[in-house]
Structure 1
Amino acid sequence: MIYFAYGSNLDPVQWALRCPGSPHVAVGRLDGYRLHFPRHSPVRRCAVASIGAAAGEVVWGALYRMSAQDLEALDAREGHFADRPDESRYLRASVRVARLDAGVVETVTYVANPSPDPGLPSEDYVKHLLDGAIHHGFPEAYVAMLRSVKTMVGA
């Protein structure tokens, strides 16, 4: 199974700690979606990323080949409960992603169940996205968009 990461799991340091048995395989582009921050994380104490349908928009991400063990651990980390979707923080979704190296691939990703008042992401949280975007060589326009994300003051 291929996982499409677009949020803090882009950060190679964080990814190595979370899913050491799931290697990076490519960079991908998800057309017709936008990045936004609709969910408050009590762990990070800020808004966290998700994707939402948006014509003409694009979300860049990293593709990882998931081991079964790492996918189970990631489900737990992301708060995905297959048997209790109403209680899940994130739901798994299938999306078709254009690989930079060739073709389109069916992937799994997570989409947030929105919070009523998520607030803003913290500078530290957005830094994970930026570090990953730079590491994976995302287009400069996308990196600039991430740099422009409004964050919590002093966070």
Structure 2
Amino acid sequence: MILYFAYGSNMHPRVMAARCPGARAIGPARLDGWRFLINKRGAASIWPDADQAVYGVLWWCNPGHIQALDVYEGVRWRNYFRRRLIIAQEEGEAGAFVYTGSRHMPGVARPNYLLSAVIPGARQFGLPSGYIAYLESWLPRRPLGAQGPGRQYIGRRRPVRFPR
């Protein structure tokens, strides 16, 4: 089995069940020395920052799950890079695969992405309330009376290729 650290929509069990059937959540974990951001594509990413930490969920995956995640994350087209980084948990530290984005310019989050996958996943695994508030701070500001997201985020069915 392979350890995988999720910090975006893959924290949510519903999303992981669709992408990696049979993957098992271990629990909350922390990646020190990195900062969470929403990139120009509106998706979660992380960027090195010695003074910050990214919270997420550690999963047990098999090699087929990692291959599927490579496809979903667009590794082939360099949308994300798969790295092995040290993750901290209550029981200690361990090496795990993490996907880091290739684009680090901050963007605007897709509300349905954050509200139906990222934030509920963070809450379900009991990530720190201050960190959940930080995730919520990425939501776009809406005028009073504006409609919220209408559909749940279930993830892309296939990777999106972005021009360089």
What corresponds to 2:63 in structure 1?
A: 68
Tell me the TM-score normalised to structure 2 length.
0.80
Cα offset, 1:151, TM superposition: 2.2
Partner of 1:22: 23
The residue number in structure 2 matching 1:44 is none
Aligned partner of 1:130 among 116, 119, 123: 119
Q: 1:51 aligns with which of 46, 61, 67?
A: 46
Where in structure 2 are the equivalents of 1:67-146 lying within 5 Å? Answer: 67-81=62-76, 87-100=77-90, 102-114=91-103, 119-127=107-115, 128-146=117-135
Cα distance in 2 between the residues matched to 1:150 and 1:55 = 25
How many equivalent residue pairs? 142
Could you report, residue by residue, the CA deviation over 1:42-80 in whole angstroms, capped at 9, with x for unpaired residues?
A: xxxxx1111111122111010111111111111111111
Counterpart secondary structure, 2:16: helix
Where 1:64 maps in the other structure, the secondary structure is strand
**Alpha-carbon separation, structure 1, partners of 2:61 and 2:55:** 18
Q: Could you tell me how far 1:118 is from its partner in structure 2?
A: 6.7
TM-score (norm 1): 0.84
List runs of 5+ in structure 2 lacking aligned partners. 150-164
How far the C-alpha of 1:38 sits from its partner, in A, is 2.2
Aligned-pair CA distance for 1:29: 0.7
RMSD: 1.8
Query: Any runs of at least 4 consecutive aligned residues in structure 1 with deviations exceeding 2 A, and if so which?
Result: 150-155
Partner amino acid, structure 1, of 2:130:
A
Pairwise CA distance, 1:21: 1.9
In 1, Cα distance between equivalents of 2:141 and 2:84? 31
How far apart in 2 are the matches of 1:55 and 1:37? 18
The alpha-carbon deviation at position 150 of structure 1 amounts to 3.5
Deviation at 1:123, TM superposition (A): 0.9
